[in-house]
Each structure stands twice: as structure tokens, then as C-alpha cells.
Amino acid sequence: MEGDPTLRLRVFDLNCWAIRYLSKRRQERVQLIGDVLRREGFDLVLLQEVWSERDYSDLKAKLGGCYPFSHYFRSGVIGSGLCVFSRFPILDTLLYQYSLNGYPYMLQHGDWFCGKSVGLVPAWGGHGRFALPSCQLHAEYCREKDAYLPHRLVQAWELAQFIRHTSKAADVVLLGGDLNMHPEDVGIRLLRGWTGLRDAFAEATRFEGCEDGCTLVPKNCFTVKSELLPFPLGIRIDYILYKAVSSFTVKCEELKTTTGTAPGMDIPFSDHEAVMATLCIRRQGQAADATLGTSEPMLADVVTEARTEVGVGLRAAQRQRYSTGRMAVLALLLLLVQAAAALGALAGLAAGQPFPKLSFSLLAFLAIGVLLLATGLHLFHTIEVKMLQGTEEQMRMALRALQERP
Amino acid sequence: MEGDPTLRLRVFDLNCWAIRYLSKRRQERVQLIGDVLRREGFDLVLLQEVWSERDYSDLKAKLGGCYPFSHYFRSGVIGSGLCVFSRFPILDTLLYQYSLNGYPYMLQHGDWFCGKSVGLVPAWGGHGRFALPSCQLHAEYCREKDAYLPHRLVQAWELAQFIRHTSKAADVVLLGGDLNMHPEDVGIRLLRGWTGLRDAFAEATRFEGCEDGCTLVPKNCFTVKSELLPFPLGIRIDYILYKAVSSFTVKCEELKTTTGTAPGMDIPFSDHEAVMATLCIRRQGQAADATLGTSEPMLADVVTEARTEVGVGLRAAQRQRYSTGRMAVLALLLLLVQAAAALGALAGLAAGQPFPKLSFSLLAFLAIGVLLLATGLHLFHTIEVKMLQGTEEQMRMALRALQERP
């Protein structure tokens, strides 16, 4: 950025919804995404939910010419689904897996198996360094009774902390991803307030796309219409956020979203709309101060609100840890009683009719099954309690720091 | 550090071996550690293996006067065991849990349950910022046939990457911990080379303590003598590493270790020796260059060596993923055959003598048990494969970057 003082950066962000065997018309859509990315020649492309490594390899082969640098983040059983394509050299990568991400036994939601993470890609563009976190947070399955809210808040907090601690080496931080939160949700306010990241939609000089910048809209043929009933315009859950760290300024000149179909086509890229931003990055004379994104008393309110929700989750996790522990103990007791009865029968001490062997064995196997399952769940909820406690403690520290500032 | 140009920093690092019900004379030792820390008044104290939160609370209550700031990192089922006491304000904390940490079914080794992590504590000392990662890596149970080497290398790599990405905001980075690696091991060379951290033992102007700076020595009454047979002097696996990031210089004036017993006592603090460093931190006129710790061709050799070991681990993990998958499929087939036989018997199609009910049910339960266990292990080894692949890929990128440098 030394010769030309201004860099115009075009960023593309999309949740691709590319789940093998499950997502509709996946291959066709991945091909379409590749075609458009090649044609449009963005500078940076942040994709989520590319669950199949083969899809990534296909995209990489197709896009190698215009995006010579790319990275796919592996994690969890299925993967993180995150990948990045860049016109600028990727210097390095770092993956941070959230400590909580739903429950393994909620198979129908599947988030636990994905190993949801934030992937950091530092890239060298012109004469400035970008930090490019790309991420996806836990999905919201029911807004009214959102059992995953504490997990999503832990993730939002960890994401914010990760960005705060890793962004210092960069000139510009650019976060793109499906945050699974509405703009006014406490998690987004926490993330923006605690990191100082600005919302490209709110800051854009020009906007073109779905009303209110929505990225999950009823007119997209792949969205589940019933889920969007309370939101006739749709919801905005995919974001491009940014901030300048050192002596740079960033302005969002233009923000676009697709509007239910891919440009000039009759099918959409995905069930989400793509978000495309044109950012204008300029070197300033003096270094910008590292500031929080929200005034401190307001930020303290946001952290307090988030901490309260984490506390609610903590108490629920403690109850579950207790009840699974109790279940394990009961199963163990049953097994011990059975063992005593069996030993008694073997020693000829049993009075009267012994149990029928079949029922006895079935009961023993059932008790072993319950014992193993309950122990596994107890361990899982113990981890959950620890992580929620840890986050609550960190938020308490943050509040104290905010209150102690002059 | 503006008024007085030199800060003399006294750092204490110890693996406390404080496992409830298992570690010998735990309470007595924790009390002793607290007494000595209070008496000696270090500036920063990094402790590992404080597995019980009550032990941490006791230490915190005792040390509140001289170390007003402290933090305990929660993670995993048991915890991370990491805590930090500081005379300087702790600004914030960040926990990074390693993506691989042994196997849940290796109950006798227990590492998996600990959620081993690196905890970062940025602290404000004088007029400079410290980044204080404190960590413990996977233990080495058998040096000749070290099945955990690939996991430990993934951890060393993640630790190095974490330090590289989070240290930019600091003036001085100070890593203390039980790295479970000998000084010449590839993991230590990788960590030092890739981060530029220097070894306080190697750099110290004065040294006092066990020969060769060993921290697990035969004369400590809690060490397992048979494990140390090949090393008559003991081994050095606990480290204080440091580097200056911005316009500071750091020198290690003095390094001390305890020598089998706590100073002036007849029992040791732990089965490990404590490491105590006095560092001299001075502000320089000009900013230091961010350099790697080893010359680039040598570093490339180290990364290649580490990558080879990770590759060995990857192939082992792939074999285990395959064999657990095959076991799950066989169990499923057995269940299907049984279901078909049962249905046949119900429909009256079975010719001749049916199976005895008891054996039939036992077999079915066995098959279900094997199916569940094998599926769980298969998922676990799938994650292992993904993380090893991810690390191998990152190392490949690092090698390319090293080779492309002018």
C-alpha cells in the first residue's frame, strides 16, 4: 500500500451449505460458486460449510489461476467447513476450536460433530498485513427457547478474545462468517463491542441486495419457509466485519448481497445469501488508537447481559451433570445388587426360586449400558460446566477491567 | 520501565504434581509451596498440575497479599491444572486447548481427561506488557517407543503458532511450563526455532541447581527411580523460555533449580524441581526485529523432521480409524444376521432347533456394545487423522515459506 496509497479490497463471504448427501443440488451449486468466483475475481473469499474436502479440492483446482493462495481448515469429525481463497500470499494459519459446541447426543443438530472453529489466515496484501478470521458459530434452532444460547455466547466471547489477542500483528482485521446471530443479539453486540470490529452493512456508503441486508430470505428456494415465518423479510446472520489496527483506515464503500438467486441464474449459491464488500483501505499518517467498539458503560452492560446468559447455561449444565451422575450411581448400585444376588445363587445361599437367567442377563446388560452412557454424559457435562465457569470468570475479569478504567 | 530503565523480574515455575487422592503428601506440599512463594516474593509464578480448584483457592487466599493478581485455567474433565500468580495486573486471559491430547481409553495415562492447554496471561509490568503463556504438553511414558510423540509434536507446533500469533501485542514473552521434552528433542527445537524463544538455562549468566539443569532427578524422593535409570543425572523437561518482541532486551541473569528438596526442608515441592529465573529487562532505543530462533536452513530441517514424525502418527491413526471402522461394520453385520434369524424364528421359518434364548441375547448385547465402542473410537480416530493432516499441511506451508524467503 506504499506506492498507491489506497487499496480497494473486494471480499466475498458465503455459507455454502455443501453437506454431502444432504444439501440439495450441492455439486451444481459448488460448480456455480466456482464459476462466479473465477469470473468476478475478488481479492479474498471466505467460505463456510464446505464440508467435503473434495469440494474444496475442486474449487482449488478451478480457482488456482485467479486465487493462487488458499487454505482448508480441518477439525472435528466432519471438519470445520472453513476455507479461504486469496489473491494475496497466505503467510500462515491458526485454527482455534471453540471449547463448547453443542451436544454429541443431539445427532439431529450435528453441530458437535463439526468442530466449529475460527480459522485465522494472516495474508500480505500490498504493503499491509491482513488478519482474516473466518468462522461459523453454533446454529440457532429455536429462537424462542434457544438451548444453545450459552454455547453460542461462549463461542462469541472466545472469538472476540481470539481476535483481540491475534490481531495485533495485523494492519487490518477482516472477519467474515455465518455468526448465526441477528444484528441486535447480545452475542453480536459483545463481539463488536469487545473487539471494535465494525459491521460492513451498517457502515457501507452504498448498499444493494436484500432488504435490511438479510442473508437468509424466504425467496431463496432452499430456505425452510416455516422457520422464517416470524421474519417476513428474512434474517441477517452472515457478516463481514472489519477494523483497522495500526496506521490504516478502512471504509466500506459498497456492500452487496445476492437476492435469492445467484447473479444471472435461476438457482441460488446456497440457502444463505452471499455477502460482498468493497473496502477502501488507506494508510494514515498516525497510528490509530486501539479502541473498544462501544462506549465503556454500554459495553459493561453488554458483558453483564452475556454473563447472565452464560450463568443460566451454567446452572442448566450443573443440573445435567448432577442428574447424569446420579443415573450412573444408580446403574452401578443395580449392578452391585445383581452381582451380590448372582454370587449368592452360586454359593447356594439363595432361598426359593432364582431369577430367570434371561431376564437377569438382560437387566445386567441394560445396567452396564446405562452406566457407560451416564458416565460419558457426566464427563461431557463436567467439561461443559468447567468451560462455562471459565467464560463467566473471564467476563467477570473483563467487567472489573472496564469498571476500573479511568 | 520508563523511569527505571531496567526491570529485574523474578519468575518461578513448577509442576506441582497435586493430584487429589493420588499424589503423595499433596496438602503438605501445596502448603509448603504457598509458604515459600509468600516468603520469596517472586514477580510471576507459573504453576502446572494444580488439578484441584480447592488447592488453587487455598494458594490464592494465602498469596493474596504479595500476588494480588491470579488466574486459574479451567478445561477438560479434570481441568488444565494451570494457574498463574502475579505481582502485576493481569489484563486478560486466553486459553488454547490443544487439538490432540492422547486417547480417552488410555485411562492409566489420563492425559486426555486433563484438557491440556496453553493459558495466556497478558500482564502489565512497569511500563511494558508481558505475554505469559503457561503450559504442559502430553507426558512421555516410554522414550523408546513413544506412542504419543506425534500428539506432543502437534501440541508443540500449536503452542509455537499460538505464541507467534498472540505475542505481537507484548513487549516480552515468557513461557514457563513442563514441556515433557528433553532439550535436544525435535519438539523443543521446533518450538524454539519457530518462535525465537530462548532457553533461560542455556542463556543464564549464573546457574545454581541440579546438574545440567535437570528438573526430574533421582535424588527427589517422589520420582520413579526405574524411569530415570537411563539418565543417572535426571532429565530436564521444565523450562523457562523468553524473548523480547518490541524495543526491549531480555537477559537471564540467574537461573536456579531446587535440588531434590525444597530450600531448607526435607521434602521436595513436587516430583519435579522448581525452576527460578531472574531476568533483566531493559528498554532499547530501536525496535528489535522479529526473528526466528534458528537459522532458516536449520529450521527447515527441524520442521521437516517434525513433519516426518507427524506423518508417522498420521499413518498409525489412519490404520486405527480403518480397523475400528471395520470392527463397527462387522458388529453391525452380526446384529443384522441376528435380527434376520430372530425374524425368521418369529415367522416360523426356522428349520430345526432354534438358538437358546440366553446365548442369543448375550450375543446381541455384545454386538451392540462392540458397535457402539467401535463407532466411538472410529469417530475419535477420524478427528485424530484430521488434526494430524491439518498440522502436516501447516508444516508444509511453513516449509514453503522458509524456502521461498530470499
Does residue A127 have a pLDDT over 80? no
Instruction: Please state, in angstroms and rounded to a whole number, the distance separating the CA atoms of residues B156 and B139.
Output: 12
> CB contact, 8 Å: A287 with chain B?
no
Tell me chain B's radius of gyration from C-alpha atoms.
25
CA-closest candidate to residue B200, choices B232, B177, B227? B177
Q: Do B362 and A357 touch (CB under 8 A)?
A: no
Is beta strand A238-244 parallel, antiparallel or unpaired with respect to A198-199?
A: antiparallel
Which of B91, B97, B397 lies nearest to residue A401, judging by beta carbons? B91
Q: Which residue in chain B is spatially nearest to A93 when comparing CA positions?
A: B394
A97 with B99: Cβ contact below 8 A: yes
Nearest CA-CA partner of B131 in B42, B242, B294: B242
| C-alpha distance from A153 to closest chain B C-alpha (Å) | 16
| Residues of A with Cβ-Cβ distance to B362 under 8 angstroms | 361, 365
Residue B319's pLDDT band (boundaries 50, 70, 90)? very high
Residues of A in contact with B389 (CB under 8 A): 74
Highest mean pLDDT among A77-81, A135-139, A214-218: A214-218
Choose the CATH number for B6-283 among 3.40.630.30, 3.60.10.10, 4.10.410.60, 3.20.20.70. 3.60.10.10
Phi, psi for residue B83 in degrees, rounded to 5: -145, 160
| Residue tagged 519435579 (cell numbers) | B272
Average pLDDT on B268-282 reads 93
Q: d(Cα A160, Cα A387) in Å, to the nearest integer?
A: 16
- At residue A350 the predicted structure's pLDDT band, cuts being 50, 70 and 90, is low
Q: Do B165 and A390 touch (CB under 8 A)?
A: no
Specify the range with the lowest mean pLDDT, choosing from A45-54, A87-96, A218-227, A317-326. A87-96
Average pLDDT over residues B160-170: 86
> Please, what is the average pLDDT of chain B?
87
- Does pLDDT of B126 surpass 70? no
Cβ-Cβ contacts under 8 Å, B369 against chain A: 368-369
Instruction: Give the gap in angstroms from C-alpha A278 to the nearest C-alpha of chain B.
Output: 27
Residue of chain A nearest B99, judged by CA positions: A97
* 3-state SS class at A223: coil
Nearest-Cα residue of chain A relative to residue B379:
A77
Q: Give the mutation candidate from A80, A386, A389 for the B interface (greatest B CB count, under 10 A).
A: A386
User: Does the predicted interface ipTM exceed a cut of 0.85?
Assistant: no
pLDDT mean over A127-139: 72
The residue-averaged pLDDT of B199-225 equals 93
Whether B231 has a pLDDT exceeding 60, the answer reads yes
Distance from C-alpha of B137 to C-alpha of B99, rounded to nearest angstrom: 12
* Residues paired with residue A44 on neighbouring β-strands, in sequence order: A11, A86
Query: Are B229 and B207 spatial neighbours (Cβ–Cβ below 8 Å)?
Result: no
* Amino acid B134: pLDDT: 72
Residues of A tagged active-site: 272
Rounded to an integer, what distance in angstroms lies between the CA atom of residue A266 and that of residue A250? 35
pLDDT at residue B143 tops 90: no
Q: How far is B233 from chain A (nearest CA, A)?
A: 38
Instruction: Say if residues B244 and B250 touch (Cβ distance below 8 Å).
Output: yes
Name the most confidently modeled range: A348-357, B184-193, B220-229, B261-270. Answer: B184-193
**Cβ <8 Å between A76 and B389:** no
pLDDT, average across residues A362-380: 90
pLDDT band at A406 (very low <50, low <70, confident <90, very high): low
| Helix (H), strand (E), coil (C) string for chain B | CCCCCEEEEEEEEEEEEECCCCCCCHHHHHHHHHHHHHHHCCCEEEEEEECCHHHHHHHHHHHCCCCCEEEECCCCCCCCCCEEEECCCECCCEEEECCCCCCCCCCCCCHHHHCCEEEEEEEEECCEEEEEEEEECCCCCCCCCCCCHHHHHHHHHHHHHHHHHHHHHCCEEEEEEECCCCCCCHHHHHHHHHHCCEEHHHHCCEEECCHHHCCECCCCCCCCHHHHCCCCCCECCEEEEEEECCCEEEEEEEEEECCCCCCCCCCCCCCCCCEEEEEEEEECCCCCCCCCCCCHHHHHHHHHHHHHHHHHHHHHHHHHHHHHHHHHHHHHHHHHHHHHHHHHHHCCCCCCCCCCHHHHHHHHHHHHHHHHHHHHHHHHHHHHHHHHHHHHHHHHHHHHHHHHCC
User: At residue B51, does pLDDT exceed 80?
Assistant: yes
A164 touches chain B (CB under 8 A): yes
Distances (CA, A) of A223 to A101, A234, A259, A308, B17: 23, 10, 13, 32, 54
Give the chain B residue nearest A69 (alpha carbons): B397
DSSP string, A151-194: HHHHHHHHHHHHHHHHGGG-SEEEEEEE--S-TTSHHHHHHHHH
Distance from CA of B64 to the nearest CA of A (A): 16
Contact list in A for residue B95 (CB cut-off 8 A) is 99, 390
Q: What does the H/E/C string look like for B3-36?
A: CCCEEEEEEEEEEEEECCCCCCCHHHHHHHHHHH
What average pLDDT is seen over chain A?
87
Q: How far apart are CA B30 and CA B58, in angstroms?
A: 9
A203 phi and psi angles, rounded to 5 deg: -95, -10
Q: Where are chain A's structural domains?
A: 6-283, 296-344+355-404
> How many Å apart are CA B333 and CA B329, to the nearest integer?
6
Confidence (pTM): 0.88
Structure letter (DSSP) for residue A74: -
| Cβ pair B75:A120 closer than 8 A | no
User: Checking DSSP bridges between strand B248-257 and strand B275-283, what pairing results, if any?
Assistant: antiparallel
Predicted local confidence at residue A312, as pLDDT: 95
Q: Which residues of B touch A394 (CB under 8 A)?
A: 92-93
Give A395-398's long-range contacts (Cβ < 8 A, gap of 24+).
A395/A157, A395/A303, A395/A306, A395/A307, A395/A310, A396/A307, A397/B71, A397/B90, A397/B92, A397/B93, A398/A194, A398/A303, A398/B92
Question: Is any Cβ of chain A less than 8 angstroms from the Cβ of B401?
Answer: yes
Provide the pLDDT for residue B310: 96
More confident residue, B349 or B140: B140
Strand partners, B155: none
* Residue B244, all three cell numbers: 523480547
- b/e burial code for range B116-136 (CB count within 10 A of at least 16 → b): bbbbbbbbebbebbbbbbbbb
Contact A245, A173 (CB under 8 A): yes
Most confident of A125-129, B19-23, B299-303: B299-303
For the stretch B365-404, pLDDT in tens is 889 889 999 999 999 999 999 999 999 999 998 998 888 8
- Give how far A236 is from chain B: nearest CA, Å: 29
The 8-class DSSP code of residue A227 comes to: G
pLDDT at position B30 is 94
CA A236, CA A272: separation in Å to the nearest integer? 10
Q: How many residues make up chain B in this entry?
A: 406
Of the partner residues A76, A164, A361, the one whose CB lies closest to the CB of residue B361: A361
Side-by-side strand order, sheet with A238-244:
A94-97, A117-125, A128-136, A172-178, A238-244, A198-199
Kindly determine whether residue B165 and residue A166, on different chains, have CB atoms separated by under 8 Å: yes
Is the CB of residue B382 less than 8 Å away from at least one CB of chain A? yes
- Helix (H) or strand (E) holding A62, with range, is helix A53-63
B74 vs A393: CB contact, 8 Å cut-off? Answer: yes
Q: CA angle at residue A213 from A208 to A217, to 5 degrees? A: 110
A153, A309 in Cβ contact below 8 A?
A: yes
- Residue B128 sits at φ, ψ, to 5 deg, of -130, 160
Per-residue pLDDT at A262: 84
- How much is the average pLDDT of A99-118? 77
Q: Is residue A312 classed as helix, strand or coil in its secondary structure?
A: helix
Question: A10 has which bridge partners?
Answer: A278
- Pick among A83, A91, A165 to test the B interface (most B CBs inside 10 A): A165
> Where is average pLDDT lowest: A79-83, A182-186, A375-379, B35-39?
A79-83
**Percent of chain A scored above 70 by pLDDT?**
93
Instruction: Give the tens place of pLDDT for each residue, B287-316.
Output: 555 556 667 778 999 999 999 999 999 999
**pLDDT at B9 exceeding the cut of 80:** yes
Active site residues of B: 272
Pick the more confident residue, A357 or A197: A197
Q: Which of A162, A365, A383 sits opposite B365 (nearest CB)?
A: A365
pLDDT at A213: 94
With 80 as the cut, is the pLDDT of residue B111 above it? Answer: no
**CB distance B168–A169 less than 8 Å?**
yes
Separation in Å, CA of A165 to nearest CA in chain B: 5
Report pLDDT digits (tens) over A262-313: 888 889 999 999 999 999 988 876 655 555 666 777 899 999 999 999 999 9
H or E element, residue A309: helix A296-346
Q: Are B48 and B79 in contact (CB under 8 A)?
A: no
Q: Is the pLDDT of residue B104 over 90?
A: no
